[in-house]
Each structure stands twice: as C-alpha cells, then as structure tokens.
C-alpha cells in the first residue's frame, strides 16, 4: 500500500483544498524524487564543512 500525501495530511488533521492539494502533491513527488536520489548517492560526494567563529558574524 502506497501512502499518499492526502492520507498523511488527513491522519494529522490537516484539511487542504483540492487546488492546494494538487500543488502540494507535485512538491511531495519532487521531494520524494530528491530523497531517493540522495539515499542512493555516495556520501563522499557530498562533503560539507562548517565553521563556527564566535563573534565572527561581522567583518571589521
């Protein structure tokens, strides 16, 4: 059984109009596509570095 966006929203008590549901379903499908692509990706290709410099949010 495939869970639809409508099922998820109804289970959480969220009511959405049909016109908004169409837009949300398109975005939901795009997110699911990106999620599947990310889960099959080699994580070495997605290196991210973060730096925290206290008080470094401004340049003098």
In 3D, which of 36, 25, 34, 27 has the Cα closest to residue 3? 25
Q: Is 44 helix (H, G, I), strand (E, B) or coil?
A: helix
pLDDT digits (tens, 9 = 90+) for 1-49: 567 888 888 899 998 888 898 999 899 889 888 888 777 777 676 677 7
| Domain residue limits, the chain | 5-40
pLDDT, residue 56, reads: 63
- Per-residue pLDDT, 57: 65
- Distance from C-alpha of 43 to C-alpha of 25, rounded to nearest angstrom: 28
Cα 44–chain centre separation: 21
CB-based contact 5:24 (threshold 8 Å):
yes
- Predicted confidence at residue 13, as pLDDT, reads 93
Backbone angle region of 18, left / alpha / beta, with phi > 0 → left and psi within -120 to 50 → alpha: alpha
């Amino acid at each position: 059984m495939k869970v639809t966006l409508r099922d998820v929203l109804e289970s959480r008590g969220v009511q959405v109009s049909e016109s908004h549901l169409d837009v949300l379903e398109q975005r939901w499908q795009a997110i699911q596509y990106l999620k599947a692509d990310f889960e099959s990706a080699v994580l070495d290709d997605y290196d991210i570095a973060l730096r925290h410099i206290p008080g470094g949010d401004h340049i003098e």
